[in-house]
C-alpha cells in the first residue's frame, strides 16, 4: 500500500472518532446554554430550550467546514506552535534521535553514513525516506494514526474557540457561566495540542527506532555472492 493510500485509510478510520468529538462539543455547548433555564424552571426549561439547537447546529456546521478547509501544514503549525520547520521530521535527528532511549543512535549513524542530515530540511527528507520504507509496520501505523487524529482534532479545537465561542457569547448567560465555557474550550485546545505534539514526536521516533533495528535492504548489486566453484581440470 502506498503512503498516500495508507494516510487516506488512517484518516477514514479516524472519522468516527472525530465525529464523536464534534457531538461531544455540541452536547457541552447545549448544556451550558441551558444553564439559566435549568436553574430557573428545571428540566422542563431545558427541553423547551431545544430550539436553541438550530443556531448551535449552524455554528457547528460552519466550524466543521472550516476545519476541513484547514491545510495539513496549518494544522501542523497549530500543533507544534511553529511557523517554519513545523513538521516533527524537521527535528528527527537533531532532537528526537538523541533523546529517545529506544533508538540505537550508533546503528542509525552507521545506516546513514555520510548521508546523516545536518539541517532541518535534510532531516525531514531523510526521515520521510525511512518512513516510506516502514509505513506499513504495525507500530508505525498505530503511531501514525494517533498523530493524524489528534492533529485534526487540534485544528477543530482551535476553530471551536472562534466558532463555538462566538455562538456561546450569544447563547450562554450569565457571564460567569460563559467564562467557564470559554475556559473549557481553551483547555480542550491546549490539552489536544499537547497530545498531538506528543504523538507526532512518538511517530517520528518509532520510525527511527524501527529502522535502526532493521536497516534498509541493500540493493541486489551490492549483496555478496559466493564465488562459483572452479571446474576440475
Global confidence as pTM: 0.77
| Domain-located, residue 91 | yes
Residues ≥6 apart with Cβ < 8 Å to 88: 80, 96, 197, 200, 201, 203, 204
Pair 171, 163: CB distance under 8 Å: no
In a domain, 224, yes or no: no
112 is a domain residue: yes
Helix (H, G, I), strand (E, B) or coil at 143: helix
141 inside domain: yes
20 domain residue, yes or no: yes
Count: domains in the chain: 1
Distance from C-alpha of 213 to C-alpha of 74, rounded to nearest angstrom: 33
Q: Which pLDDT tens digits describe the chain residue by residue (233 residues)?
A: 455 666 667 776 777 787 788 778 877 887 787 776 555 555 444 444 555 555 556 666 666 676 677 889 999 999 999 999 999 999 999 999 988 888 888 888 888 889 899 999 999 999 999 998 888 889 999 999 999 999 999 998 998 898 888 888 888 888 899 999 999 999 999 999 999 999 999 999 999 998 887 754 444 444 444 455 445 44
In a domain, 231, yes or no: no
168 falls within a domain? yes
Range of the domain at 137: 10-214
Burial 81-101 (b: 16+ CB within 10 A, else e): eeeeebbbbbbbbeebbeebe
Number of H helices, E strands in the chain: 10, 0
DSSP state of 103: S
Amino acid at each position: 500500500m502506498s503512503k498516500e493510500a495508507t494516510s487516506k485509510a488512517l484518516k477514514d478510520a479516524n472519522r468516527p472518532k472525530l465525529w464523536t468529538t464534534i457531538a461531544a462539543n455540541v452536547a457541552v455547548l447545549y448544556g451550558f446554554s441551558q444553564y439559566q433555564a435549568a436553574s430557573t424552571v428545571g428540566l422542563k426549561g431545558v427541553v423547551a430550550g431545544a430550539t436553541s439547537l438550530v443556531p448551535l447546529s449552524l455554528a457547528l456546521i460552519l466550524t466543521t467546514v472550516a476545519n476541513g478547509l484547514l491545510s495539513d501544514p496549518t494544522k501542523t503549525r497549530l500543533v507544534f506552535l511553529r511557523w517554519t520547520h513545523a513538521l516533527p521530521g524537521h527535528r528527527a535527528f537533531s532532537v528526537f534521535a538523541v533523546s529517545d532511549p529506544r533508538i540505537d543512535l550508533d546503528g542509525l549513524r552507521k545506516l546513514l553514513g555520510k548521508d546523516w542530515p545536518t539541517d532541518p530540511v535534510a532531516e525531514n527528507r531523510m526521515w520521510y525516506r525511512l518512513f516510506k520504507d516502514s509505513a506499513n509496520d504495525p507500530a508505525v501505523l498505530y503511531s501514525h494514526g494517533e498523530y493524524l487524529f489528534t492533529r485534526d482534532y487540534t485544528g477543530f479545537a482551535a476553530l471551536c474557540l472562534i466558532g463555538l465561542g462566538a455562538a456561546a457569547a450569544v447563547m450562554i448567560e450569565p457571564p460567569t457561566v460563559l467564562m467557564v465555557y470559554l475556559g473549557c474550550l481553551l483547555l480542550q485546545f491546549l490539552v489536544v495540542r499537547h497530545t498531538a505534539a506528543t504523538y507526532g514526536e512518538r511517530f517520528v521516533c518509532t520510525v527511527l527506532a524501527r529502522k535502526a533495528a532493521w536497516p534498509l535492504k541493500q540493493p541486489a548489486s551490492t549483496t555478496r555472492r559466493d564465488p562459483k566453484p572452479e571446474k576440475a581440470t
